[in-house]
Amino acid sequence: MILRIIVCAKETPDTVATVEAREGVVTWDDAPLVINPWDEYAVEEALLLREKGLAATCTVISMGREDGSEALKHAIAMGADEAILISDPVLADADTLLTSHVLAQAIRQFEDVGLAVFGRQAIDGDTGQTAVQVGRRLGWSTLTYVSHILELDAAEGSITVERMLEQGRQICTGTLPAVISVLKDINEPRYPSFVGLRRATQTDVAVWTAVDIGLGAAVISKVTWPEVSNLPVHAGAAEIIDGATAEEKVEKLVEKLMAEKGIWR
Ligand X SMILES: Cc1cc2nc3c(=O)[nH]c(=O)nc-3n(C[C@H](O)[C@H](O)[C@H](O)COP(=O)(O)OP(=O)(O)OC[C@H]3O[C@@H](n4cnc5c(N)ncnc54)[C@H](O)[C@@H]3O)c2cc1C
Binding site for ligand X (CB under 6 A): 8-10, 26, 36, 38-39, 62-64, 94-97, 99, 103, 118-119, 121-122, 124-131, 223, 225, 228
The nearer residue to ligand X, 108 or 256, going by C-beta atoms, is: 108
In DSSP notation, the chain reads: -PEEEEEE--EEE-TTS--EEETTEEE-TTPPEEE-HHHHHHHHHHHHHHHTT--EEEEEEEE--TT--HHHHHHHHHT-SEEEEE--GGGTT--HHHHHHHHHHHHTT-S-EEEEEEES--TTT----HHHHHHHHHT-EEEEEEEEEEEEETTTTEEEEEEEETTEEEEEEEESSEEEEE-GGG--PPPPPHHHHHHHHHSPPEEE-TTTTT--S----S-------PPPPPP----PPP-SSHHHHHHHHHHHHHHTTS---
CB of 263 to ligand X, least distance (A): 39
> Which residue of the chain is nearest ligand X when measured via CB?
125
Minimal distance, residue 104 CB to ligand X, in Å: 11
Identify which of residues 1 and 231 has a Cβ nearer to ligand X in the complex.
231
Q: Which is nearer to ligand X, 30 or 126 (CB)?
A: 126
For ligand X, the closer CB: 79 or 119:
119
Closest CB 97 distance from ligand X, rounded Å: 6
Nearer to ligand X by C-beta: 165 or 258?
165
CB of 160 to ligand X, least distance (A): 22
CB of 166 to ligand X, least distance (A): 18
